Amino acid sequence: MDARERLRELSDFAAPWAVWIAATLRLPDHLASGALTAGELASRAGADPDALERLLRYLVARGVFAEADGGYANTPVSELLLDESGWRSWFDLDGPPGIWAESWTRLLPAVRSGSPGRDEGWYYDELARTGRGAAFDAAMAMQSERDGAEMAAADDWDGVEHVVDVGGGTGALLRRLLAARPHLRGTLFDLPQVVAGAAPADRLAIVAGDLFGDPLPHGDVYVLSRVLHGWPDGVAAEILARCATAGGETARILLVETVLREEPSADHASFDLFMLTLVGGRERTEDDFRRLGESCGLALRSVRQLSSGASLLELGA
């Protein structure tokens, strides 16, 4: 591919939009039992037949769908977007991705000024206002459940009694931890509209609160899973300091976060831009985490890779 073609491919707005719209309209699911014409697909998906055919033609040219039997069929690429794959929710513009897609329009002002210019916490208000919070919480739970199982398997829970998961969503990670370590009790702390969707479990206390305004419960270990990357440095340091204050001298703070390498992958760098444009947050290097901890009197004690691609970082006084 020459430079001109590469530039055209990189700057083509149609590609992400067409893929996200195909997933939103569940086109791969409609095609799961065989090829359909654009007209048949349009009536099943609730779309305009002419506009849908134009979308399909583009996606065939891009190898997402194929032409077959006078209509359109799935390919291994579109099959990744089948509902059953679990991936579709990350592409559904009627769900949280609709908020994410809109937020990319803030990237230019964010690059110019360093901030997307929204009130802190607007994203969680927007999820609640548009009724998309439960879909976001479910998508997060899918990810963090696996991290919870892996953290439980790590051999460093002796002497720990109480784990507080701050911004713990609906508690998928904490539930896994408690199930694997019967001597632990846990407290799930998150916004009221989020913990409303958390199922009760043995040894699990559920606390609805605002981590900036309400006191955090006292614990031996604080978990902050994928929380800090949603905030700029000043706010992330405030969150760490609040956990450290609530836990006292001996408390350990466990972060589950992506750690940027010296030369970040395109995926990691893309997510870093996404955090900037969505919430004014950022992905961080190991040094960034060390400095962030030191700014509130915490030392970075260890960093361990998890199979999800995130890392487990431990901080303590």
Ligand X SMILES: C[S@@+](CC[C@H](N)C(=O)[O-])C[C@H]1O[C@@H](n2cnc3c(N)ncnc32)[C@H](O)[C@@H]1O
Query: Could you say whether residue 294 binds ligand X (CB under 6 A)?
Result: no
* Whole-Å CA distances, 251 to 80, 166, 298: 42, 14, 10
Query: Could you say whether residue 140 binds ligand X (CB under 6 A)?
Result: yes
Query: Could you say whether residue 225 binds ligand X (CB under 6 A)?
Result: yes
Query: Could you say whether residue 242 binds ligand X (CB under 6 A)?
Result: no
CB of 72 to ligand X, least distance (A): 36
Closest CA to 220 of 191, 182, 169, 185: 185
Q: Which stretch binds ligand X (CB under 6 A): 149-157, 204-212, 261-269, 285-293?
A: 204-212
Q: Which stretch binds ligand X (CB under 6 A): 34-42, 97-105, 222-230, 258-266?
A: 222-230
Distance CA 71, CA 52 (A): 12
Q: Which of 30, 162, 183, 229 is catalytic?
A: 229
Local structure of 132: helix, strand or coil = coil
Query: Could you say whether residue 22 binds ligand X (CB under 6 A)?
Result: no
- Cβ proximity to ligand X: between 17 and 104 the closer is 104
Q: Counting beta carbons within 10 angstroms of the beta carbon of residue 209, is it exposed (0 to 12), middle (13 to 18) or buried (19 or more)?
A: middle
Characterize 102-122 residue by residue with b for buried, 16 or more Cβ atoms within 10 angstroms of its Cβ, and e for exposed: ebeebeeebeeeeebebebeb
CB of 172 to ligand X, least distance (A): 6
Provide CB contacts within 8 A for 41, sequence distance 6+: 27, 30, 31, 47, 52, 56, 71, 72
Local structure of 256: helix, strand or coil = strand
CB of 99 to ligand X, least distance (A): 13
- Cβ proximity to ligand X: between 37 and 193 the closer is 193
Residue at 189: amino acid letter: F
Query: Could you say whether residue 309 binds ligand X (CB under 6 A)?
Result: no
Query: Could you say whether residue 230 binds ligand X (CB under 6 A)?
Result: yes
Catalytic residue positions, numbered: 229
- The residues binding ligand X (CB under 6 A) are 121, 124, 140-141, 143-144, 167-169, 173, 190-191, 194, 210-212, 225-227, 230
